[in-house]
Amino acid sequence: MPYSGLNLDGMVALVTGSGRGIGEALAVGLAQAGADVAVSDLPAGMAEASGVQARIEDLGRRSAAYQMDVQIIEEINTGIVRVVEEFGRLDILVNNAGIRRRQAAVEVTEEDWDAVISTNLKGTFFCSQAAARHMIPQGYGRIINIASQLAVVAGENRAAYCASKGGVASLTQVLALEWIQHGITVNAIGPGPTETPGLLAADSRSPEELDQDLTAHMPLGRRMRPEELVGAAVYLASPSAGATTGHLLIVDGGWTAR
């Protein structure tokens, strides 16, 4: 008999930035665990988001796709209100939407800095705030922030990205303390390098440079697959995680163990 503590039947989840990559894997994984799942993405990603919606519906779960730019607070608030109105509640929020720009610190512009911080940190906060406004009255909620192993160790040419993900880890602890009294847990997952379209697009290194980097830092010997993060998300979203809050769960193929 499956362990019921990881069953998400009857719960409603929203995964931001879920048209592809890690967000897609987590949205489908939460549906496989029993949740109805709303997906969201930028306007350019809505066709992909609709494809993820179809995959979830093929599993027998409810789904819908919403346009949401997490840099725009009005879109966040409107989108989450629509999820609650159309699904009846919101139990699980996964703050997955994020960007990276790989560049030397002396080359980072104000526009680069603002784009990364606004998406990765500001977006995470205001999505969490909007979700908590619905979770607090119901006395239950699970918020999962996608951080990075680079929230706790440095990476060259990633000044804005590391700053944003370190901020996400700290923010996770603050929100966990404030909201545990309302039955809401707030945790983060810190993935290592994961094979996603966004990572590949942001990485201009040659295959030789990538191999050298993986050899130096990644005991796993390869980039991770998005599906390897699903188990962590299902646990943190589940009833079993009721006493787990303010935690950064590193899933990085051994990167930070060196």
Three-state SS letters, 196-251: CHHHHHHCCCCHHHHHHHHHHHCCCCCCECHHHHHHHHHHHHCHHHCCCCCCEEEE
CB of 45 within 8 A of CB of 65?
no
Distances (CA, A) of 16 to 10, 22, 205, 218: 20, 10, 28, 27
The single residue of 3, 66, 161, 235 carrying the catalytic annotation is 161
CB of 146 within 8 A of CB of 95?
yes
CA distance 207 to 121: 30
CA 91: distance to chain centroid?
Answer: 15
161 given a catalytic annotation: yes
Q: Is 71 helix (H, G, I), strand (E, B) or coil?
A: coil
Q: Which two tokens stand for residue 75?
A: 């879109």
CA distance 61 to 83: 15
CB of 70 within 8 A of CB of 128?
no
CA distance 94 to 158: 23
Could you tell me which residues come within 8 angstroms of residue 180 by beta carbon, excluding any fewer than 6 positions away?
245
Would you name the residues annotated as active-site residues? 161
